[in-house]
Amino acid sequence: MLERLTAGTDRPVGVNLIPEVVEPAALDRQVAQVLDETPQRVYLSFFGMPKDAVLARLAAAGRRTVVQVGTVEDGVRAAALSTVVVAQGIEAGGHLLGASLRDDLVGALRTLAPEACLVAAGGIGSPEEAARAVAAGADGVLLGTAFVVARESRAHARFKSAVTGAEAGDTVITDVYEIGWPGRRHRVLATAVTADPHQPAKFIGRTVVEGKPYLVARFSAAVPTEATSGRIEEMALYCGNSCGAITDEVPAADVVAAYAPVLPGAAVAKNRERAKAMPADEAHDEYHHDLSYREGVPPVRTRQGVELYCESTARASPSRRSTTSSSPPRSGGTTPTNSPGTTASSATTCAITAAPRACRRNRPGRSTRRM
């Protein structure tokens, strides 16, 4: 997977690791594999806080890191370790890391970690909603549901159709899709399974992962893809509150392009594009103008915040102003991931658009509820 990932692009790209679904030793092996088998342009992102030693190891290796959190405590801790911090609000689709509303979490983290590179996630389905997150203190946004229905996404057609036809009130927070990822609540579209969590955990479908066939059980955390068959409408249809603003299947690049103008730092990317069209001497001056903007920022955060944004725009059209990452089907029932707790990045499920301003100094029974 890593070889395919790095062969597919010469731009910054990420590998996502999920600390809570693997043992610490397994996470260490995953980190070591990424460091050993990928170039420096490959960054690592974590869904949930890893141990401090993991982030320190990556910093020592010169790798950029992104950590998604759902609490103020974890966000402050991540910011202190010079990572890009993704603040996930409860409006988000998929697995939830906390219980705070997005803008409340962003605002609290901006107050307590004013220099952090802070990205907002959860319920962002339009540029207007992204602008509200920026107003709350975010430096960029991370999208999930918008990319489920993107043209390049391998989500099952019925999954895409369900998302584009849904409103926020059609989502529920539940813990029923626990096979493969227990103990973590998730926001999904309401289904017959969320309505009656006492059904037997029988097999309800089949899927193919990395060319191998697997059965999918009811209550599996696995996502239905174009390779999945069976009772798609009963599977985990992860969907955020943003769905009401998402009505069409469009190219991923068009999704990113729509958000770029409302994000801080768009002018820097525009300067870079303009400089490429200038005579060499004028372009040199434009470059140094851009560089002087960036050099007023602490160097570590410059690498992690500004360049995550700017390197992806340097050779791309304005429609590609982001780094992107995606999650293939999570393990559930007998459906595996390519490597437990590991996902490689592509333009299918979520995009971080971090801007230059980012670089500032024993579980209970299953339950479902609507929020």
Residue 367, pLDDT score: 61
pTM exceeds cut of 0.85: no
Say how far apart CA 244 and CA 62 lie, in whole Å. Answer: 40
Say how far apart CA 280 and CA 53 lie, in whole Å. Answer: 45
358 CB-near residues (< 8 Å, 6+ apart): 84, 117, 118, 119, 139, 140, 264, 265, 301, 305, 306, 309
**In whole numbers, what is the pLDDT of the chain averaged over residues?**
80
CB 253 within 8 A of CB 346: no
pLDDT, tens only, 73-114: 999 999 999 999 999 999 999 999 999 999 999 999 999 999
- Of the two residues 307 and 252, the one the predictor is more confident about is 252
- Identify the helix (H) or strand (E) that includes residue 229: strand 229-230
Asked whether the predicted pLDDT for residue 185 surpasses 90, the reply is yes
